[in-house]
Amino acid sequence: MVMASKSSVGGSSSGSGGGSSSRTRVGRYELGRTLGEGTFAKVKFARNLETNENVAIKILDKEKVLKHKMIDQIKREISTMKLIRHPNVIRMFEVMASKTKIYIVMEFVTGGELFDKIARGKLREDETRRYFQQLINAVDYCHSRGVYHRDLKPENLLLDANGVLKVSDFGLSALPQQVREDGLLHTTCGTPNYVAPEVINNKGYDGAKADLWSCGVILFVLMAGFLPFEESNLVALYKKIFKADFKCPTWFSASARRLIIRILDPNPSTRITISELHTDEWFKKGFQAPVFQQEEVTLDDVNSIFNESADSSNLVVERRDERPPSAPVTMNAFELISTSQGLNLGSLFDRKMGLVKRETRFTSKCPANEIMSKIETAVGPMGFDVKKNNYKMKLYGEKSGRKGHLSIATEIFEVTPSLHMVELRKAGGDTLEFHKFYNNLSTGLKDIVWKTEDEVKQEGTNTDSK
């Protein structure tokens, strides 16, 4: 773990436009837009000011971590990410700590989620096989290091600019220390549709075999375009999983069907293993073993991010301009790149609107204050409370949905003085309910929306075809 010292921290960095484009700086990194957020953490786009490299920084609130007794879980996540050095796994570069926060600096990938591809429909079998092989390469390596992911699903599979699969989010992973005397793990976790039957059974399970089951569900979803086990009632869903009650679509090849049946075997003792998988006819086709250098990694310093004393020279300081901005944050080139897939700004808004999408954005030529006022007016009748902080808004649903109360983070960015980008991101609740919310909101915002993502995408397509 590399800790940045106080001496490497300068004042708040700023771009053009004075207070409206003030930036937060932590150590050598300039923080940008929020990429995602949860109860205990935010992930922000950032730039290394020394190398100009783009990264993602996961920011954890120490007080919340301590209050909810999550120190062990966070240590485990950091330990896991430090252990793993593989081309198909998101890389962790360094960890920093301030008096109140923990900063995990990670590789930033720009190709979006694998889930975005499924939103467009099922994948071709050869394309599916390529992604599945990369997934198995990553999972096999993790298991060889004694690490089990335990929450494998398409949302946790990202793609880089070259379309290479990267496994992310080890927040629910298990290290060998969690294996009891019986050699099994005993923590029920994961996402219901992807969880192995023995995990639900709560009698202990082999982490490697449970991960492989989840890989099998992912394989099915990629080729089918839908889940093998899906019920609105959780008890009915679990019954299907326990029986492995699913049917392969007719377009699956015979060899793919045979493999999926062997992976989605409800009996872990007879389920195919990864070593057996490597000899399978369907899996072997075009297989390429990953090429990378092994690195020795020590975990001795993981505890230090929680044990730093207040006067420690290893603590970083977060510097920012505390004055409330007179205008929204100005998007510089690096911010624009962070919203696109790859470095192609033509695909700036090109994340397909599908049922799985968890963020969306539009542009407007209206003043920022007018945009905020219109959003607030539109969401009131929909049953949402609004909290405003400068040019950011948090929308809280009054009614509880399928996964608790829906909450949406909204932020307005200035692209040019006469053009604003409005981003809406699901911060809590169900993705499908967010999708429905946005469709309803769009109706009330027609007079301020200049272009939606789809319109920008269509323009780009027309330009490319000329």
Digit-coded pLDDT (tens) for 162-205: 889 999 865 434 444 444 444 444 444 446 888 889 888 877 77
Average pLDDT taken over every residue of the chain: 76
Residue 466 pLDDT greater than 80, yes or no: no
Above 70 in pLDDT, residue 43?
yes
25-39, 51-65, 427-441, 451-465: the lowest-pLDDT one:
451-465
**Per residue in 351-377, pLDDT tens?**
333 334 566 788 888 888 899 899 999
Instruction: Look at 140-144, 195-199, 210-214, 309-313 and tell me which has the smallest mean pLDDT.
Output: 309-313
**pLDDT value, residue 358:** 64
Q: Which is more confident, 75 or 235? A: 235
For residues 422 and 441, give the distance between their C-alpha atoms in angstroms, rounded to a whole number. 13
What pLDDT sits at residue 289? 86
**Long-range CB contacts (within 8 A, 24+) of 99-102:** 99/62, 99/310, 99/315, 100/61, 100/62, 100/63, 101/59, 101/60, 101/61, 101/62, 101/318, 102/59, 102/60, 102/62, 102/65, 102/74, 102/305, 102/306
**What one-character-per-residue DSSP string does 250-312 give?**
TTS-HHHHHHHHHHT-S-TTTSPPHHHHTT-HHHHTT-------------TTTTHHHH--TT-
Q: What is the pLDDT of residue 340?
A: 47
151 is catalytic: yes
For the four alpha carbons of 43, 44, 49 and 53, in that order, the dihedral sign comes to positive
User: Would you say 58 is a known binding-site residue?
Assistant: yes
Helices within 311-452 (DSSP H only): 333-339, 368-379, 431-444
Among 49-63, 71-85, 141-155, 432-446, the range of highest mean pLDDT = 49-63
Residue 59 half-sphere exposure toward CB, CA atoms < 13 A = 23
The pLDDT assigned to 268 comes to 94
Taking alpha carbons only, the member of 375, 359, 351, 368 closest to residue 453 is: 351
Nearest of 200, 264, 222 to residue 135 by alpha carbon: 222
Distance CA 285, CA 130 (A): 9
Cβ atoms within 10 Å of 67's Cβ, excluding its own: 10
pLDDT at 134 over 50: yes
pLDDT reported for residue 322: 52
Predicted pLDDT of residue 220: 95
d(CA 138, CA 166): 8
**Does the pLDDT at position 343 exceed 70?**
no
CATH of domain 13-108: 3.30.200.20
Considering the candidates 116, 140, 151, 265, report the single residue annotated as catalytic: 151
Listed by start position, the domains of the chain span: 13-108, 114-163+178-279, 329-465
Segment 11-38 shows an average pLDDT of 63
- What is the rounded CA–CA span in Å between residue 256 and residue 2? 45
- Residues of 192-230 as b/e, b for ≥16 C-beta within 10 angstroms? ebbbbbbbbeeeebbbbbbbbbbbbbbbbbbbbeeebbe
| 405-434 residue pLDDT tens | 888 889 888 877 788 888 888 877 777 788
Higher-pLDDT residue of 402, 415: 415
**Cα gap 362→412, rounded to integer Å:** 10
Residue 200: per-residue pLDDT: 82
The answer to whether residues 320 and 327 touch, using CB atoms and an 8 Å cutoff, is no
The rounded distance, in Å, linking the Cα atoms of 220 and 230 is 12
230-287 per-position pLDDT tens digit: 887 888 888 999 999 999 999 999 999 999 999 999 999 999 999 999 999 999 999 9
Distance CA 428, CA 403 (A): 8
More confident residue, 148 or 208: 208
Give pLDDT, residue 4.
31
**What integer is the mean pLDDT of 281-308?**
76
Q: Is the pLDDT of residue 219 over 70?
A: yes
Closest CA to 224 of 263, 260, 183: 260
What percent of the chain shows pLDDT beyond 90?
Answer: 22
Encoding tokens for residue 155? 């949302």
Domain covering 114-163+178-279, topology: Transferase(Phosphotransferase); domain 1 (1.10.510)
For the cut 90, the answer to whether the pLDDT of residue 121 exceeds it is: no
For residue 460, pLDDT over 80 is answered with: no
Q: Which of 7-21, 360-374, 440-454 has the lowest mean pLDDT?
A: 7-21
Is-contact 154 354, C-beta < 8 A?
A: no
Is 335's pLDDT higher than 90? no
Question: How sure is the predictor about 93, in pLDDT bands with cuts at 50, 70 and 90?
Answer: confident
pLDDT at residue 259 in the model: 97
Confidence of residue 101 (pLDDT cuts 50, 70, 90): confident
CATH architecture of 329-465: 2-Layer Sandwich (3.30)
Give the containing element (helix H, strand E) for 461.
Answer: helix 453-465
Give residue 342's pLDDT.
Answer: 35
Reduce the DSSP state of residue 315 to 3 states and report it.
Answer: coil
Give the residue, 290 or 460, on which the prediction is more confident.
290
d(CA 212, CA 278): 13
